[in-house]
Structure 1
Amino acid sequence: MTIEDLKKSGSIIFESISGSKAYGLDTATSDTDIRGVFILPKEQFYSLNYIGQINNETNDIAYYELNKFVELLSKNNPNIMELLNVPEECILYKHPAFDHIKKEDFLSKLCKNTFANYAFTQIKKARGLNKKIVNPVEKERKSVEDFCYVRDHKQSILLKDFINKNNFNLKSCGLVKLSHMKDCYNLFYNENMNYNGIARENANEVCLSSVPKSETPIAVLYFNVDGYSTYCKKYKEYWDWVEKRNEERYKSNISHSKNYDAKNMMHTFRLLHMAKEIGLNNEINVRRTDRDYLLSIKNAEFEYDDLVSKAEIMKEELNTIYDKSLLIDRPDLDMINNLVYNIRNNFYNIK
């Protein structure tokens, strides 16, 4: 089912603008995020075709089926809890069935950890992105041969250096596995033999050759499998990031040279402030009154280490706040199960 199919089905019971525009933190280049809730048609819900979530490729638009939505609410997932208190002007559609889902039934002391833990994942993302920015990976992909080393007298050198040093032809090389020595091979060279070389094009491992017993190896070759695997993962992650990154955000991050993603750090403090407000006032304040302060973080007006220290102090404060809070320990699952049943049953009967 696509988003277009979902909208035609009449199954949506809630739809809202979310993200920066709901927080009041949007700028001229901000995207419009949409979140919603739907109830699967009866025949799909009772079949093997259950769908828990429908979203577009960038995840800017996402709709959650009632079961998944309420399950995430019961765990006090921050992104989902926000939908229970978005500003009225952000609500695009609300079916009467959605009014039965009340924040008072879900707000609990679980928020202390869910909001704080999510906040600290943003800190890691903030620093992690900088690693990509300051350590770019060359577009030309390295090969297996770039991770092969040869013992040359008392030292090991790159296979390619060994080949160049001896004016060898890679295609005339042959490998035979050395028993009892992991990732080590006898290296043979003979321009008159039909050897297979070191590795085939785009291969992820070395290739072996059939070598006559009369041949004498010229060296021992070691293939750094772990190093090659790590490189391949890093290469894929980097170029996937380049392909999908938000160019405006990327340019902003490299312009301030503070070695972190300022937008991630802004969300760290938004989440910590929200967690504090929930613990003190039993309220989910989506529209931010601390807009100026949060945008100053987004503008990279602070040092990364200072922000992390402040976040650590705020996280510790949450322990005291939630110890004194009148919030329930966790949502009542029996009540929630009845709620979901009644909402779904009434919706199907009306339909």
Structure 2
Amino acid sequence: MTIADLRQQHLILFEAISGSRAYGTNLPHSDTDLKGVFVLPENQFFGLDYVPQVANATNDEVFYELRRFVELLLKNNPTVLELLGTPAECVVYQHPLFARFRAADFLSKLCRHSFAEYAVAQIRKAKGLNKKINHPEPPARKSVLDFCYVTAGVGAQPVAAWLARKGYEPAQCGLANVPHLTDLYALFIDATPGRAHGYRGLVRDPETSQDVLLSAVPKGEEPVAYLSFNRNGYSTYCRVFREYWEWVEKRNTERYQNTVQHGKNYDAKNMLHVFRLLQMAEEIAESGVLNVRRPNREFLLQIRRGEFEYDDLVAKAEHLVTRVEAAFASSALPDAPDRAAAEELLLQVRRRFYGLN
């Protein structure tokens, strides 16, 4: 099923322009996003092929089946709740039955989680992006040996520096476990002609190995030093390295260039939505009203243009989080929407829609 099918079969209950154009934060080049609600044909609804939502290839046009729409309303999902607060000029089509859905009947303290905690996650995301931009990972990946250190007096040296200072080659080295000491190894050097001990070196392959390599050591050999492998440090580095280059591969080029150009090293569009969500959450907690069209367009666009310092924005956002938490703690909103009433409304609208069609 496609969006064209929904229109052709007259299955749409509601269709609206969403995103920045609904918030009032759009720019001349902003995309036009569409969201909506539809009802499956009766025989398909009662059959095996229930379709919860339909979207276009770029996912900027999304329509929710009536049941899925109500399920998300009961969770106070921001994207779906915002449909009930769509500014009149953004409504493309509304079936008379859809007027029975009112935001006031669904707003609850669950918005603290769905709006505010999502915004907190976006703050963490912004911090991660800030770190990626300011501390890029070099293309060459570090190896296990970069996390290996050899005892030297009362201190330790990177194994490569220690080998160079001693004049040893990695192939001369053999490692053996030290009982009861995790990731600490006795380091042996094969100084025999032709390297008769047959030590295997420190790693199998410096570029691809994920661990050090152990050797069989002849009885009576004495270690020349002890080697420590910082396994946790290596594991953390590998995760950060992988995440960084996955981000480079998948990042939105246009948004990244905008981030670099405004010079503040944060995703300005991301931070705009942090403040939008937190401010909406505070309004919901204090007044029980869902305001989709934002009254502070210029402030939000200042964020988008990168006119604030990153640390100042994060501090303001974290202060706003505290205010939101306090507002919900004293809010008169119910803990959750009335599930029974929502289900009855769902049934009535569906029956009525099928009866009319």
TM-score normalised according to structure 1 size: 0.79
Amino acid of the residue matched to residue 20 of structure 1?
Answer: S
Assess, with a 3 A threshold, how the Cα gap between structure 1 residues 20 and 152 changes in structure 2: closer, same or farther: same
Is 1:258 matched up with 2:258?
A: no
Instruction: Tell me which moved more, 292-301 or 325-334.
Output: 325-334
Assess, with a 3 A threshold, how the Cα gap between structure 1 residues 54 and 315 changes in structure 2: closer, same or farther: same
Q: Deviations over 1:121-145 (max 9, x none)?
A: 3333333321111111111111111
Quick check: 1:172–1:193 contact (8 Å CA) kept in 2? no
Amino acid of the residue matched to residue 165 of structure 1?
Answer: R
Q: Deviations over 1:44-70 (max 9, x none)?
A: 9876x8776677898655555555543
Quick check: 1:6–1:12 contact (8 Å CA) kept in 2? no
Amino acid of the residue matched to residue 199 of structure 1?
Answer: V
1:300 alignment partner, one of 286, 302, 306: 306
Amino acid of the residue matched to residue 294 of structure 1?
Answer: L
Q: Deviations over 1:179-224 (max 9, x none)?
A: 1001111223333444333223423222323333244333211110
Q: Which runs of 5 or more structure 2 residues have no equivalent in the other structure?
A: none
Is 1:287 matched up with 2:289?
A: no
Question: Shift of the alpha carbon at 1:169?
Answer: 3.0
Could you say what secondary structure the match of 2:117 adopts?
helix
Distance (whole Å) between structure 2 residues aligned to residue 152 and residue 270 of structure 1: 56
1:199 alignment partner, one of 190, 193, 203: 203
Question: Shift of the alpha carbon at 1:240?
Answer: 1.4
Assess, with a 3 A threshold, how the Cα gap between structure 1 residues 313 and 232 changes in structure 2: closer, same or farther: closer
Assess, with a 3 A threshold, how the Cα gap between structure 1 residues 91 and 160 changes in structure 2: closer, same or farther: farther
Which residue in the other structure is 1:155 paired with?
155
Which residue in the other structure is 2:135 paired with?
135
Distance (whole Å) between structure 2 residues aligned to residue 195 and residue 342 of structure 1: 79
Distance (whole Å) between structure 2 residues aligned to residue 222 and residue 347 of structure 1: 71
Quick check: 2:17–2:34 contact (8 Å CA) kept in 1? yes
Amino acid of the residue matched to residue 243 of structure 2?
Answer: E
Could you say what secondary structure the match of 2:108 adopts?
coil
Amino acid of the residue matched to residue 157 of structure 2?
Answer: I
Aligned length, in residue pairs: 346
Is 1:122 matched up with 2:122?
A: yes
Quick check: 1:127–1:259 contact (8 Å CA) kept in 2? no
Is 1:218 matched up with 2:235?
A: no
Question: Shift of the alpha carbon at 1:92?
Answer: 5.8
Distance (whole Å) between structure 1 residues aligned to residue 30 and residue 172 of structure 2: 57
Is 1:236 matched up with 2:242?
A: yes
Which residue in the other structure is 1:274 paired with?
280
Give runs of aligned pairs for residues 174-189 of structure 1, distance below 5 A: 174-189=174-189
Is 1:331 matched up with 2:326?
A: no
Instruction: Tell me which moved more, 262-271 or 134-143.
Output: 262-271
Assess, with a 3 A threshold, how the Cα gap between structure 1 residues 184 and 306 changes in structure 2: closer, same or farther: closer
Amino acid of the residue matched to residue 339 of structure 2?
Answer: L
Could you say what secondary structure the match of 2:174 adopts?
strand
Assess, with a 3 A threshold, how the Cα gap between structure 1 residues 319 and 159 changes in structure 2: closer, same or farther: closer
Could you say what secondary structure the match of 2:187 adopts?
strand
Q: Deviations over 1:255-278 (max 9, x none)?
A: 333354333332222223323443
Distance (whole Å) between structure 2 residues aligned to residue 261 and residue 165 of structure 1: 46
Distance (whole Å) between structure 1 residues aligned to residue 164 and residue 238 of structure 2: 25
Quick check: 1:147–1:228 contact (8 Å CA) kept in 2? yes
Assess, with a 3 A threshold, how the Cα gap between structure 1 residues 216 and 64 changes in structure 2: closer, same or farther: farther
Assess, with a 3 A threshold, how the Cα gap between structure 1 residues 172 and 67 changes in structure 2: closer, same or farther: farther
Quick check: 1:85–1:286 contact (8 Å CA) kept in 2? yes
Distance (whole Å) between structure 1 residues aligned to residue 250 and residue 291 of structure 2: 31
Distance (whole Å) between structure 1 residues aligned to residue 326 and residue 153 of structure 2: 65
Could you say what secondary structure the match of 1:302 adopts?
coil
Question: Shift of the alpha carbon at 1:104?
Answer: 2.8
Amino acid of the residue matched to residue 288 of structure 1?
Answer: R
Could you say what secondary structure the match of 1:294 adopts?
helix
TM-score normalised according to structure 2 size: 0.78
Bigger Rg, structure 1 or 2: 2
Question: Shift of the alpha carbon at 1:305?
Answer: 4.7
Q: Which runs of 5 or more structure 1 residues have no equivalent in the other structure?
A: none
Is 1:171 matched up with 2:177?
A: no
Which residue in the other structure is 2:84 paired with?
84
Could you say what secondary structure the match of 1:227 adopts?
helix
Q: Deviations over 1:124-178 (max 9, x none)?
A: 3333321111111111111111111111233211111122223333234332211
Quick check: 2:184–2:229 contact (8 Å CA) kept in 1? yes
Instruction: Tell me which moved more, 280-289 or 320-329.
Output: 320-329
Amino acid of the residue matched to residue 240 of structure 1?
Answer: E
Give runs of aligned pairs for residues 304-315 of structure 1, distance below 5 A: 304-308=310-314, 310-311=316-317, 314-315=320-321
Assess, with a 3 A threshold, how the Cα gap between structure 1 residues 34 and 245 changes in structure 2: closer, same or farther: farther
Amino acid of the residue matched to residue 188 of structure 1?
Answer: F
Quick check: 1:174–1:209 contact (8 Å CA) kept in 2? yes
- The percent of aligned pairs where both chains have the same amino acid is 48
